[in-house]
Chain A
Amino acid sequence: GESVGLHLPTLSVQEGDNSIINCAYSNSASDYFIWYKQESGKGPQFIIDIRSNMDKRQGQRVTVLLNKTVKHLSLQIAATQPGDSAVYFCAEPAGGTSYGKLTFGQGTILTVHP
């Protein structure tokens, strides 16, 4: 049969709007989560991380929220800019707490329109 590529979730926003990118993780024992940004033609770039003993962590224009009850992670970007256009990945340690090996989500495509 014919192979198909990954169908990534997409989010389109206007410049200046706030963006929210969601991620459902699989392992309730995971103690650490990371968000990466990948621009076209580049490698994934670390944005922000959060440990499981926290519900919220803020960076510059970005906030990560963690809801352990429903195993949900979100990345909020304030005042989204065209330079924020990229694919965003969440990641968690494979096996929950193992150092080194990460499991990446499939990614969300964010497009920011001027």
Chain B
Amino acid sequence: DAGVIQSPRHEVTEMGQEVTLRCKPISGHNSLFWYRQTMMRGLELLIYFNNNVPIDDSGMPEDRFSAKMPNASFSTLKIQPSEPRDSAVYFCASSTLAGTDTQYFGPGTRLTVL
């Protein structure tokens, strides 16, 4: 079975540009999570969805960040406008609501904002 799929794997952009990161969760999983990982702050949860509905977005840094999940098989994380401090690895993870919290992570998108 395919795991969590993220695209692109690497993104280099200039400050001020819009960045869109994409995620396809594992088929049948009800929950989807967006994380950011940096050397400074470690692994941080940005937002998560249950059944395509945003449940907790308290980790979203500011209004420049937005996330959507239009259907059960696709989610986007958008940064507009991007800033150099947004440079990080962004992970998407998915899980079921079947009684455990085990999350399965994608390979990540390494974002560099110049």
Contact = CB atoms under 8 A, between A and B. Distances in A.
Interface of A: 3-6, 32, 34, 36, 42-46, 49, 89, 91, 93, 99-102, 104, 106-107
Nearest to B31: A100
B97 interface: yes
B107 A6 contact: no
Contact of B107 (A43, A89, A100, A101): A43
Contacts of A4: 40
Interface string B82-110: 00000000010101010011111111100
Nearest to B110: A41
B14 interface: no
Interface of B: 4, 31, 33, 39-43, 45, 48, 50, 55-56, 91, 93, 95, 97, 100-108
B42 A107 contact: yes
Given A44-B91, A100-B31, A101-B56, A6 B105 contact: no
A43 B55 contact: no
B101 A6 contact: no
Contacts of B106: 43
A52 B24 CA distance: 32
A106 B42 contact: yes
Contacts of B48: 100-101
B102 A89 contact: no
A96 B104 CA distance: 20
